[in-house]
Structure 1
């Protein structure tokens, strides 16, 4: 009799906790938080990829994108960390901002509260100006800043983002003082570049697909912040070729709150991996195609741990400069 009672209790326990996981993601939509405004590289990547992920989750999943821009992504990262670990809340994290921000100040989230699911892209930085700009190359920009410190405006998407770090790297390497302006996303940078209110934009390769190949249009790339020239912009020199030896890339991928069951994380990772390789997705997202670089969550976390050691000196320098 005692064994029968224990067996019944065990059965009820399984029945009580099993359906929530077993039903995922059939019974309600999964919210996906984006830390930047609609129209930027992060937002476009997620909105184009997620329908393909839905199909690979038995066609019953439904992802709903929520844009929560501000604080260089911290608002969104905090939302991920504080969400219930039930598989119905996830988000996109942007590296290096995601792991760099907590190094420079007390943030509302900790990377220990978040589990990485999969990296999707590794996206080199590009320095862009308006097609009507007086700056025809990076040397022109450096010359203007050396002649008059703070005279050239540089846009980035918030403190700690890849664009912000790129500006700091540029300033140190070229020994100049840019006038930094923070935006809530690349779309806002683009608007001000086209309107003549911003002189230099720090964006990512995937965010300017209209320039790929020709480098013609309302914007013009003047330098790639990568080790080698990009096949998409073969006529654009690297920053090092232009006299400023800096490399800056952005990584984007998906994450969930710590504590989400392994089964759900594994299903998400597998669905994302398969979706990134889908020829239909690749054709539908030409801007992302050159920078697609899938990496499993655990491997990505190890990469970020190693990256943190390299970023620490820059974080300490940033904190010191802000305390002066």
Structure 2
């Protein structure tokens, strides 16, 4: 039974004298008799999810003979909404890392859920929540995090009434730290990557990016994950098997930047083009030695700023939060 269902008890051919509906914990459902005392109707109220009630009705028939009846019923269980938070506990991430909260199902009331989320940091950092889908919300600082910031995020969902038969599952929290301020700057048109730490250039790396028809996106990307090696198959990026552009190969030192398949990785087969022209299918390739170095130096959450192409990075193709102005980001809050 739904928690907001209206209950009726009817005395066929007689009159009700009393109706009592309550749960084991004493929760009682109120209601009123009709003028003819032949129908009892519950008052508007919301019953607890998952609760079992016992209903007892007492009545007299036309001859004045008393009778009674009882039954039990259960209010259906709520649709639970749980939260998964990243970065993980005690992680050390880069200055571009957004806080990502993914929900087990789309909350029916985003504002109610957002009000149960909080971020605290030392030092204090200005930031805001922004919804990137019906079931995912990010918290992004106004500017890149200061290096060394300690952050705690809490999702206080335990027993939270969300609406539309949803309730929060359990409360969760995560604490993490912002590491050194590493920023990678990639010139798609200059074929160079400049690596900075704390604002100082530490290395310039010749690279190659996407060739014609496979243009690498301009904009701010964030390192999403790191894999020492991975198999890359062109069918996963909509290049059909058997095409002249098809490939399947093992790459080393892979760092994901987009959901659509842009990575930074070693590309020893294109060393001759690196620093000179773009020959890849959209990834950023470099020599094995440079790829090994940047893999060890960079971390998840480091921003990678691309310039030099007309193809833009988008909000949901990875952690695209930084491609929105602060004003535009604020409009994605459910509290607006």
Q: TM-score, normalised by structure 2?
A: 0.24
Greater per-residue strand proportion: 2
TM-score (structure 1 length as normaliser): 0.25
Decide which structure has greater helix share.
1
Flag the structure with more relative contact order, 1 or 2, with Cα contacts below 8 A and sequence separation at least 6. 1
Q: Rg: which structure is higher?
A: 2
